[in-house]
Amino acid sequence: MGMTETAFQMCINPDCRSRFDRGQVLFKCPNCGELLDIQYNWDKIAVPDKLSSFAARWANRQNPLDFSGVWRFRELLDFCPDTRKVTIGEGQTILEQNCAVANYAGMNPDCLFLQYEGLNPSGSFKDNGMAAAFSHAKMVQAKSCACASTGNTSASMSLYAHTCGLKSTVFIGSGRIAFGKLSQAMDYGAQTIQIRGDFDDCMAQVQAVCAKLGLYLLNSLNPFRLEGQKTIMYRIIEQMGWSVPDWVVVPGGNLGNSSAFGKAFLELKELGLIQQIPRMAIINATGADTLTDLVNNKKLTWNDSRVDQKIIDRYYADLTARNFSPHTCASAIEISRPVNLKKCLRSIAVCDGIVRAVTDEEICDAKAVVGKYGLGCEPASAASIAGLKHLVEQGVIGKDERVACVLTGHPLKDPNVTVNYHKDSLGQFSNPPIEAPNDLDEIIKLIQQ
Ligand SMILES: [Zn+2]
């Protein structure tokens, strides 16, 4: 199936490899339950013969698809007709060469580049994926959509949903709620259903409801979302003058980004559009370090698509037996059973990748440095800087290599962490407010100190 189309869906299980039409709404292989990939019939797509050809699109940016940081690379994710493509101006991001943060991480000053995904319309990288997934939703004529999330996903989904005229429903549990992000979902008009249960209960309910009512599911299983997230790498390459960095460093939570980035580089290499695939470092928080533990201690690998499921099953059974619940201030990566684990293992194989974990203290200090010397970021984003610092100290990343760190979300996404860090002088970069009497001379004295 699918050989006459530009794209099709395919199961990643090597013993299954079932193919499905791009117009089907699946999210998991109906034959074996594994993850699905979007694959392309490249000979049916007019892919430019060099990446710099995409630069011409910028001169035509009054066309919304050429303005979009996702769709100006549309030949590299050609799964739907232009008439169905959705954009709200996502992907107008900045890759900033930042000397001060480079210095903090132990790098040479001109070697560190920060990719600010917080500049997206809903304030996080999720908008890249939603532009792609909502285009698929429009292609299959979905009327309503849903996700379980209290985070960036619900914010991004709600924004794209009202733009596309879809009704959206966000499922949240009664556990910890990131109000900074949930506030966006409410403001963007999503229906919010709070279930008496935890996040796993929400995930189960949202899948059951979607199946029963035919709602379009926008959780992390959606393979079209990852196609949009590939473009973060294209934009890094674009802003580095159409050259690849030596390393990409990315926070690891549900592992959608690392999965998408590896797929992007693999495809670019196969198409002859890049010569060298960058190495990738994926950074967990120590309180949610499933990937680190599985890869570094349990020696789990992609193994040429034959991942040892027994290692994963044993690991998850142990988490259940210990009643383990992940804990980190970086709520966006507070995940112990990452949905895209196997695709991430593939990226590690493709990019000669490595995995590390960093403490909350290291995350908060790194976040303060990005705030003080850069454009700021949410806690999970700063894991990439904290991880880079480790890797430079360990000599894994050379201080003169060109490194792109992906900063996934805007600093205003999680103001509580920021305020607590500064006001209680918790870290080495804390900048607390100073109490002053209501007296001009005293105030002047404080400022001139
Ligand atoms: Zn399958």
Distance 3 CA to ligand 1 centre (A): 18
Distance 347 CA to ligand 1 centre (A): 20
Distance 22 CA to ligand 1 centre (A): 15
Reported in sequence order, the residue ranges of 74-151 that DSSP labels E, i.e. its strands, are 94-97, 112-116, 144-148
Q: Which helix (H) or strand (E) holds 40?
A: strand 36-40
Query: What are the pLDDT digits (tens) for 207-254?
Result: 899 999 999 999 888 999 999 999 999 999 999 999 999 999 999 999
The predicted model gives 131-136 an average pLDDT of 98
pTM of the model: 0.97
Distance 10 CA to ligand 1 centre (A): 8
Distance 35 CA to ligand 1 centre (A): 8
Distance 12 CA to ligand 1 centre (A): 7
Nearest to 331 by CA among 408, 263, 265: 408
Distance 334 CA to ligand 1 centre (A): 28
Statement: residue 126 has pLDDT above 90? yes
Position 141 scores a pLDDT of 96
Q: What percent of the chain has pLDDT over 90?
A: 90
The Cβ-side half-sphere exposure at 138, using a 13 Å CA radius, reads: 21
Nearest to 339 by CA among 244, 207, 428: 207
Average pLDDT of the chain?
95
The predicted model gives 183-207 an average pLDDT of 88
Q: Are 388 and 231 in contact (CB under 8 A)?
A: no
Q: 311-341 as b/e, with b when 16 or more CB fall inside 10 Å?
A: ebeebeeeeeeeeeebebbbbbbbbbbbbbb
Read off the pLDDT band of 196 (50, 70, 90).
confident
Out of 42-46, 57-61, 192-196, 378-382, pick the least confident: 192-196
SS3 of residue 162 by DSSP:
helix
Query: What are the pLDDT digits (tens) for 361-380?
Result: 999 999 999 999 999 999 99
Distance 36 CA to ligand 1 centre (A): 8
Statement: residue 311 has pLDDT above 80? yes
Query: What are the pLDDT digits (tens) for 407-426?
Result: 999 999 989 999 999 998 88
Amino acid of residue 7: A
Position 177 scores a pLDDT of 67
CA 425, distance to chain mean position in Å, is 30
Paired tokens of 40: 């392309």
Statement: residue 348 has pLDDT above 60? yes
DSSP annotation of 215 = P
Neighbouring residues of 343: CB distance < 8 A, sequence distance ≥ 6:
12, 35, 37, 226, 255, 259, 262, 263
Query: What are the pLDDT digits (tens) for 16-37?
Result: 999 999 999 998 999 999 999 9
**Backbone phi and psi for residue 264, each to the nearest 5 degrees, phi listed first:** -60, -50
Distance 215 CA to ligand 1 centre (A): 23
Distance 33 CA to ligand 1 centre (A): 6
Position 3 scores a pLDDT of 59
Distance 16 CA to ligand 1 centre (A): 4
Statement: residue 445 has pLDDT above 80? yes
Distance 28 CA to ligand 1 centre (A): 8
Q: When comparing pLDDT for 197 and 56, which is higher? A: 56
Position 1 scores a pLDDT of 52
Distance 307 CA to ligand 1 centre (A): 14
Position 201 scores a pLDDT of 83
Distance 136 CA to ligand 1 centre (A): 21
Distance 232 CA to ligand 1 centre (A): 28
Alpha carbon distance 388, 35 (integer Å): 30
Position 176 scores a pLDDT of 63
Distance 7 CA to ligand 1 centre (A): 17
Rg (CA), the chain: 22
Distance 15 CA to ligand 1 centre (A): 8
Query: What are the pLDDT digits (tens) for 274-292?
Result: 999 999 999 999 999 999 9
The predicted model gives 301-314 an average pLDDT of 98
Q: Which helix (H) or strand (E) holds 176?
A: none
